[in-house]
C-alpha cells in the first residue's frame, strides 16, 4: 500500500512579483512555489517536485483516491490557522509567536532548578512576557531522561501559585503536564492552554478532561506514553512515522471532542530520537503542515545542540537555540518554545522586518 505526503518547499521572498506561481503556507508570512510529493510504499520512499503552477495538471494524472489525499493535504497546508483564544488574550498565528519556558522543578536540565521557587519563577515569567513572549508555558515535572515521577499533588503545588499570579495580570499561560488532575487545577488557576508531551495518552482521563476544559491543546510526539517518554524510539522513516502517529492521534482527539482548530502539534524534538533523526525532522519540518493544525516547535537548549557544538553544556547553547528556532520559523512554525526569550524575540522581529519588506516590495 502506498501513502502520500506533501511538503511545501521552494519558498518565494516576494510572491507578488510572481503572480499565480506560489501559495501561502498555513496562513503565515511564507509563500511556496513547489510541492514535494512523497510516496511511501513497503519501506521505500520516492520524492517528486511539482511546481504550484503545474499542480492542477499533476492532479489529473492521479487516481481518484490519490487525488483526494493530495487535495486534502494541500488544503491543510494552505489553510489559515485559527487564532488562539486564551482567556482575555487573542494569539494570532499569521506571524510567528514565542512561547517562554518556565520549569518550576528542582532538577531542570536547562537551568538547574532556578525557577523551583515560585517567587523567582513568577518574576522570570513576567520578565519573559515583557520581553515579548506571547505565551508562558509552566511545567512542574521534569521530563528529561531519567527524571523521577512525582505525585500530581506535588506538581499542582509547584505550578498553581505561579499560574494564578500570571493569569491575574492577563498573561496567556500554558500548563505543561500529562496528568488530568494537574490540567484541571491549572486551568482553574487561570491557564488557558494544555501542552502534553504524551498527546493526552499518559492519563486515561486526560482526553475527556481536556475536552471539557475547552482550551487549546498541544499534542507532542514521543515514542512512549508511559513513565519514560524517551523509550522505544525505533523508526523506519522518522519524519513520516511521526507524521503518521500525529495524524492518527489528531483523529482520535477530534473524535474525543476537541476540534481541529483547538489542536496544535509538536514533532517532539529530542524525545526518543537520535541526532540524525532530530535533524531529519527539522530539515523536513514543513511536511507537518499537512496535518492541518498549528505547528509548535521546541529545540531550545536541547542535547542535539551540544552534540553539534563540542558538547556545549545546556547554559552554553544560546546560538544553536536561536538558530534552530529561526530554522523552524522559516518553515512556517507558528510557535517556537524557548528558554532565551529576549534573544529569540529579537531574531523573530528582524525576520519579520525582512518579510514585511519583501512582501511590500514594488514590482
Name the residues annotated as catalytic.
302, 337
Residue 160: which H helix or E strand, with range? helix 152-168
How far is C-alpha 159 from the chain's CA centre?
22
Task: Give the sign of the dihedral formed by CA 348, CA 353, CA 354, CA 355.
Answer: positive
Angle between helices 275-283 and 318-329 (to 10 degrees): 40
Name the burial class of residue 312, with classes exposed (0-12), middle (13-18) and buried (19+) by CB atoms within 10 angstroms of its CB. middle
The residue to which cell 553544556 is assigned: 313
Short-list 103, 99, 123, 100, CA closest to 111: 103
Say what the alpha-carbon torsion angle 304, 194, 82, 56 is, to the nearest 10 degrees.
50
How many other CB atoms are found less than 10 A from the CB of residue 358? Answer: 16
In sequence order, which residues have a C-beta less than 8 Å from that of residue 65 and are 6 or more positions away? none
Counting every residue, how long is the chain? 363
Cell numbers describing residue 77: 497546508
Contact 210, 187 (CB under 8 A): no
Alpha-carbon span 285 to 323, nearest angstrom: 14
3-class DSSP state for residue 94?
coil
In sequence order, which residues have a C-beta less than 8 Å from that of residue 332 and are 6 or more positions away? 8, 25, 26, 28, 30, 285, 286, 289, 295
Find the largest Cα–Cα distance for the chain: 62
Amino acid at each position: 500500500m502506498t501513502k502520500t505526503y506533501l511538503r511545501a518547499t521552494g519558498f518565494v521572498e516576494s510572491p507578488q512579483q510572481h503572480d499565480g506561481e506560489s501559495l501561502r503556507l498555513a496562513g503565515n508570512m511564507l509563500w511556496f512555489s513547489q510541492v514535494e510529493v512523497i510516496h511511501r510504499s513497503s519501506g521505500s520512499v520516492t520524492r517528486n517536485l511539482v511546481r504550484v503552477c503545474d499542480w492542477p495538471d499533476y492532479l489529473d494524472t492521479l487516481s481518484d483516491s490519490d487525488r483526494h489525499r493530495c487535495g486534502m493535504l494541500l488544503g491543510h497546508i494552505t489553510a489559515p490557522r485559527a487564532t488562539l483564544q486564551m482567556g482575555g488574550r487573542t494569539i494570532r498565528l499569521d506571524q510567528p509567536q514565542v512561547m517562554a519556558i518556565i520549569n518550576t522543578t528542582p532538577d531542570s536540565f536547562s537551568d538547574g532548578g532556578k525557577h523551583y521557587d515560585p517567587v523567582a519563577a513568577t518574576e522570570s515569567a513576567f520578565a519573559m512576557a515583557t520581553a515579548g513572549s506571547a505565551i508562558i508555558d509552566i511545567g512542574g515535572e521534569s521530563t528529561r531522561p531519567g527524571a523521577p515521577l512525582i505525585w500530581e499533588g506535588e506538581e499542582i503545588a509547584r505550578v498553581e501559585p505561579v499560574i494564578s499570579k500570571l493569569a491575574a495580570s492577563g498573561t496567556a499561560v500554558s500548563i505543561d503536564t500529562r496528568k488530568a488532575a494537574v490540567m484541571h487545577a491549572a486551568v482553574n488557576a487561570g491557564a488557558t492552554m494544555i501542552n502534553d508531551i504524551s498527546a493526552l495518552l499518559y492519563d486515561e482521563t486526560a482526553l475527556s478532561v481536556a475536552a471539557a476544559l475547552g482550551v487549546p491543546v498541544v499534542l507532542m510526539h514521543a515514542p512512549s506514553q508511559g513513565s519514560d517518554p524517551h523509550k522505544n524510539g525505533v523508526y523506519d522513516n522518522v519524519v513520516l512515522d511521526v507524521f503518521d502517529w500525529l495524524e492518527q492521534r489528531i483523529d482520535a482527539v477530534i473524535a474525543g471532542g476537541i476540534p481541529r482548530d483547538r489542536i496544535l502539534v509538536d514533532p517532539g524534538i529530542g524525545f526518543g530520537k537520535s541526532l540524525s533523526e532530530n535533524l531529519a525532522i527539522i530539515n523536513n519540518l514543513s511536511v507537518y503542515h499537512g496535518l492541518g493544525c498549528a505547528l509548535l516547535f521546541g529545540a531550545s537548549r536541547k542535547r542535539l545542540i551540544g552534540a553539534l557544538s563540542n558538547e556545549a553544556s545546556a547554559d552554553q547553547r544560546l546560538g544553536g537555540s536561536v538558530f534552530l528556532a529561526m530554522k523552524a520559523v522559516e518553515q512556517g512554525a507558528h510557535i517556537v518554545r524557548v528558554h532565551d526569550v529576549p534573544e529569540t524575540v529579537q531574531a523573530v522581529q528582524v525576520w519579520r522586518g525582512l518579510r514585511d519588506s519583501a512582501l511590500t516590495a514594488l514590482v
